Structure formats: C-alpha cells, structure tokens
Structure 1
Amino acid sequence: MEQQIARMQKHLAEVPDMFRDRGEEETARRPAPGKWSAKEILGHLCDSAINNLARFVRAQTEQPYALIPYQQDEWVKAQAYQARPAFEIVQLWSSLNRSVVAVMAAMPPAACEHACILADGTTVSLRWLMEDYVAHMEHHLGQLSRQLGQG
C-alpha cells in the first residue's frame, strides 16, 4: 500500500493547485454536451471517495465483502457539484482522500487479501480494490488536467 499512499499524497498536494486561481466559469465549463465540467469531475471523485472509503473499512471486517454499486451520474446531479463553489469541492475531495490514506496506512497487512465481490460476481482482493481506486482517480485527474489546460 505504500506506493498507493505515496501517489495519493502527491495528488493531495497537487489537486488544490489545479483549481487555484481558476474562475467559477472556467471550472463549470462543460467541454461538450453530456460531459462533466471540471467541478463535476472532481465531484465524481468525491462520490468515489465516499463510496470507497466505506468499502475499504467494511471489507476489513465483513468477509467476503460484496460491493454495492452506485449510480455515478445521479450522484453528481444529486450533489449539485455544478452549482457549488469549486473551492468547496476541492476541500471535500481533499478531506475525503486524507481519510482514505489514513485507512490505507492503518490497515493490517493481512487485510489486503480480504475478498471483495464485485457487482458482476468477480472476486478481487482488498489490495486490488485499493489499487483500482487510485488508478480510477488518476484517470480522472488526467481529464481534469487536460480540461483545465495543464496537461
């Protein structure tokens, strides 16, 4: 988990800078109809953190742990990220992911191999789930960087 923790700490340091000195109009701009704005992408990552933080805790104590999927587009709409100030979403994202890092750092090594059952019935380890979480985050952070003209 050390590698995932280090990658997340790097992102925790960098993401606030991506939004610093950006106007609300720029962060709310959608690149195309039906596509998320920068605020909505970061909001989606907040929703991912909310769901995965609970998964990472529960998978340590409930075996096997069956993941419950969530409706990503509906969560973004329900959270109204597009209408919220960007700095507020950045703070939420940062706080949630500091909690994710704390859970990763405190997790007993044996828990890494706990079974997690995906919606399609596939069984993966908790380690795999955490690695996938970081990869998913980095995919969307790459989108953010391109959308905000930083990549």
Structure 2
Amino acid sequence: MKELIEEYGHGYTMLRQVIEGLSEEALRFKPAPDKWSIHQILIHVTDSEILSTHRLKKVLAEEEPLLISFDQNAWANNLGYDLLDREQALLLFQMLRSSMQTILVHLTSEQSERVGVYADAGRFTFTQLLEYRVNHVRDHLAQIERVKEAYRLSV
C-alpha cells in the first residue's frame, strides 16, 4: 500500500514531466479526428480526478455508498475541452491529489478494505479504487506518449 500511495502522490509530477517542452501545436495535435489531443487528455484526467476524489472520500466516510460513473466522451464532447485552461486543470489535479495525501498517509488497514458500490460495475474496496486512480494516470501517460509519437511522425 505504501508504494501505491507514493505513486498516487507523484501523479502531478509525472504528468508535468511527460509534457515538458512540448509546443502548443504538439499539445493540440489530434492523431485522428476521433482521438483526443494531449490538451484534451489532461483536461479529462483532471475531470476524472474531481469525481474520483469524491468517490474515495465517500467510501471512507459512508457505509457502502453508491458510486456513480460518468460518460467521459460526453464530458469531452460537450464541455468544450478545447476551450478550457490546461494550466488551471493541472493545478486543480495537483491540489486534489495533495488534498488526499494526508488522508492516505493515515489510512488504516480497515479503511483500505471499506467498500463502495457502482450500480453498473459492482463492489470495489478503497484499495481497488486507489489502484484504479494510479493506473488511470499510467494509462494516460502511455496515451500521451503515443500522441507525441504520432505528432513527431506528422511533422
């Protein structure tokens, strides 16, 4: 659990490192019309973090709370991701992760086994939800690398 909490805490730094030195053109490049740009990916990661921080806290505070999924494509398509401020989103991501760190470093083994329930996906322990948050950033870091490579090949 210690390594998981540590990696969770480094999510912001990892996102910053993967985009370091990229031009605005590279950040806005879409590898295909139906694919996200790096800018859009970063906005999505933050939106997902907003909802997930709420879920993590619900699981710790409430008895087997109902957790709600969201339609990430609807958010990306209908909330004007291209118009949103990437720097503001990254700072919000940093603050959300930072706000959870105090809770996480004091997490008990009993708390890590608390459960939340998704109507569409079933029961998940706090640890499973936290693992998902770490993997979510990992997956999007890999996606950003793929978009960077597609951009390099296009210029």
TM range (shorter): 0.7 to 0.9
Moved over 6 A (4+): none
Gaps in structure 2 of 5+ consecutive residues: 150-155
Match of 1:138 in 2: 138
> SS in structure 1 opposite 2:144?
helix
Matches within 5 A, 1:2-151: 2-120=2-120, 122-149=122-149
TM-score normalised according to structure 2 size? 0.83
For residues 3-61 of structure 1, what are the alpha-carbon distances to aligned partners after superposition, in whole Å with 9 as ceiling and x for unaligned? 11221233332321222322222111111111111011111111111011001111112
RMSD of aligned C-alpha atoms?
Answer: 2.0
For the 8 Å contact 1:42–1:90, the answer to whether it is kept is yes
How far residue 103 of structure 1 moved from its aligned partner, in angstroms, is 3.3
For the 8 Å contact 1:19–1:87, the answer to whether it is kept is no
Letter of the structure 2 residue corresponding to residue 39 of structure 1: H
Letter of the structure 2 residue corresponding to residue 73 of structure 1: N
Give the % identical residues: 25
Structure 2 CA distance, aligned partners of 1:88 and 1:121? 31
